[in-house]
Each structure stands twice: as C-alpha cells, then as structure tokens.
Amino acid sequence: MERMLSGEKVRRKVFDVHNHIGFMEGFKYYGLPEPVNPTVYCDNDRAAKIKIMDQLGVDRAIVMSNYGIPDPSQPFGLNAVVLDACAHQDKRILGGVWFSPALKMKEANDAAMKLAGEPGIKVLKATCLLGGTWNPEEWDEDTKKMWEGIIDVCESHDHVFHLHTSPGGGSDVSNCIKFVKAYGKRVKVHVVHCGGGVSGHIKFIPEFIKFVKEGYKVYTDTSWAVGFCNRYLFDEIEKNGVGDDRVMFSSDEPWSDFWSEYYKFEGLGISEELKNKLFWENAEKLYGV
C-alpha cells in the first residue's frame, strides 16, 4: 500500500503547524497479544519528512516527537531528531521541544528546557495522556514550581505551548481551558485538536471565541476533529467577527491522515482569502522566520 495517492498536491501554500517525527517501535496497545504499529508509516528523520512534504507540496512544517507508547520518557528521546530536523537554513522545518506536565519527569523537563531557543525551535509540546494535568488548581507546590519554570522559559523565548486536548482524562479540554485562563495572557497557547472530540469541541469553541475577545493569546487547529467541528467553529467565527487569525492547519501526521485534514479546510464554503489565512498566513505571522 502506498502512503499517499501519487501525484496529488495541495492547491495553495501550506504551513503544517503540528505533526510528528521519529521512529517508534510497535507496542502491545490495550493489552493486545502482539505489538502493532497503527500509524503504518512514520517519518524517521528530516530527510523522510522533507520527502513527504515535497510529495504533497507542503512548504513548511513544525515537527515534534512521535509518541503514543505509554512510556513518558519515550518522546524525550526524539527531541534530538527534532533539533536536527529544524537546524537548517531553509527553515522548511521548524520544531517543538517535548516536555511533560508530570512532576516525575522534572529531570527530563529540565534538560528539555535547555533546548528552548535553539535554531528553528518555536514550540514547547506536551500531553497529559502520559501523566499530569493542565489544571493549575490540581497542582501541588512542587508541580506548580516546575510549571512556573517551564512557563518562564516559554515566555522568555516567545515560544508557543502546544497542549494536546481530549474530551476526557488528564488532557481534558476543560482542564486546558483553566490553564488558558491562568496563563493565556502571559504566554501563547495552541489548544491542539480544538478540544479533541464531540464534547471537547462543544466545550471549547465558545470559550475560544470568548478568549480571543478578552485578549488571550490562544490558537487552535482542527486535526482529529469530528465532522461538525469545522462548521461550528467557522460559523462562530463569522457570527462574532473574531478568531479567523487564530486557527491554523495541522495534519497531525502520522496519527491522522494529511488529505483528510486538508479537505476539512479546503472543502469548506469559505472565502479563498480565509483559506489562505488558515493554511499559511496565520502560521507565517505567528512563527515567521
């Protein structure tokens, strides 16, 4: 099976702001008797990522550690792959440094924060799927101290937090909303996956509009979003007259499918001007090099 339909290319300039890089072994997910590799493909390094970008016609991308194995230390090992991918003069690939919201990973976080500000690094990326919570109200004193140090690093380097969201669990978008309320006027927060599912979208989109109106530095994408999300999001943006400069395209490859994500925007009944903002201009403004 070929990974992508041969010869198909994007219709406009595309900046893919959130996708993954690095090899990851198969795993016995959910108690399976044998290891599986559900993504089938992955981009092991810069050369592989550039190859698929060229095939698709993608101009620029932000990459971060491939992850999914229930081992919070695994993604840290791919930060070096990210650094290598983005440390090039052409700036086609920018990078996100992996960190963990879990206190038990503080030592790894301290090492990761030293990579902030390296050439091509623009993002600090984390998930609570492997431990921790976005909700500041649930942090103990040591966790709060760790987070404050990470937030200081993000602010001092003008990086953007990419925070994974889900409809439940530690990454529940309800917790991420509380993080944005606490820190979203101080640092830029990209709420990845727009809440991450049916209830997540319904919870987050009204809050997103409210955050933009109130001056929070909040951004989002619609990778992994379910069917109605994009209609709902852009209907609210149109009705309220704000937020069209805060949404960007993300493929989340290899955990999602590029063309499925692409046509969530390309297939919308919105103006060409707005599509150009979503696919390129908003990201170029935020991450411009």
Domain harbouring 48, CATH code: 3.20.20.140
Q: What is the pLDDT of residue 168?
A: 75
Nearest to 132 by CA among 163, 159, 154: 163
In a domain, residue 5? The reply is: no
Residue type, 130: L
Q: What is the pLDDT of residue 170?
A: 75
Task: State the CB neighbour count (10 A cutoff) for residue 117.
Answer: 14
Which parts of the chain sit beneath pLDDT 70? none
In a domain, residue 58? The reply is: yes
In a domain, residue 173? The reply is: yes
Q: Provide the domain limits for residue 200.
A: 15-287
In a domain, residue 1? The reply is: no
Q: What is the pLDDT of residue 288?
A: 83
Q: What is the pLDDT of residue 82?
A: 99
In a domain, residue 246? The reply is: yes
Q: Give residue 112's Cα distance to chain centre.
A: 17
In a domain, residue 155? The reply is: yes
In a domain, residue 88? The reply is: yes
Q: In degrees, to the nearest 5, what angle opens at C-alpha 167 toward C-alphas 215 and 70?
A: 110
Contact present, 170 and 134 (Cβ < 8 Å):
yes
Q: What is the pLDDT of residue 108?
A: 98
> What is the domain count for the chain?
1
Work out the widest C-alpha separation in the chain, in whole angstroms: 54
Q: Please, where are the H alpha helices in 42-172?
A: 46-56, 79-86, 106-113, 141-156
Separation of alpha carbons 265 and 212, rounded Å: 21
User: Could you tell me what percent of the chain has a pLDDT over 90?
Assistant: 94
Cα–Cα separations (whole angstroms), residue 52 to 13, 159, 205: 15, 26, 32
Q: What is the pLDDT of residue 32?
A: 97
In a domain, residue 150? The reply is: yes
Q: What is the pLDDT of residue 287?
A: 95
